Amino acid sequence: MNFEDRTPCGDAGVAARRSLNVEQLSRLTALSTTTIRTYLTCKKYQHLLPRGFKRPGGRRWLWWADEVEAWMEQGRPPTAFRTARPRGRPTRRQQLERASRAQVNDSASLESRS
């Protein structure tokens, strides 16, 4: 029997809430455990997970299963995928294309202000 599945000693009549650890959350969300731990420790990613907790004196992050299910039903926020940037300096053609696009955008924004 897992510790998470047991009811507290004094609350035998109350149904116990099931908690999930990082590994179980990773199976539910299809995120790796490393990604989940990164999201927990880095403030700019904390909004991408439901609110977790630690038991008093414990080191393990846990989530209430019913809260995770509700979060997933609401439609969790999109994950922070990064598009791969090409390595190295852009070619001359790419530099000219970027410059011409910037020039067109600048002239369009100036026209809209007038």
pLDDT tens digits for 58-112? 999 999 999 999 988 888 665 555 667 778 999 999 999 999 998 888 877 767 6
SS3 label, residue 54: strand
Give the CATH number of domain 3-74: 1.10.1660
The 10s digit of each residue's pLDDT in 5-25 is: 544 554 554 568 899 999 999
Half-sphere exposure of 113 (CA within 13 A, CB side): 6
Greater pLDDT, 45 or 2: 45
Instruction: Specify the pTM.
Output: 0.54
For the chain, what are the domain ranges?
3-74
What are the tokens at 51?
């609110």
Tell me what the pLDDT averaged over the chain comes to.
81
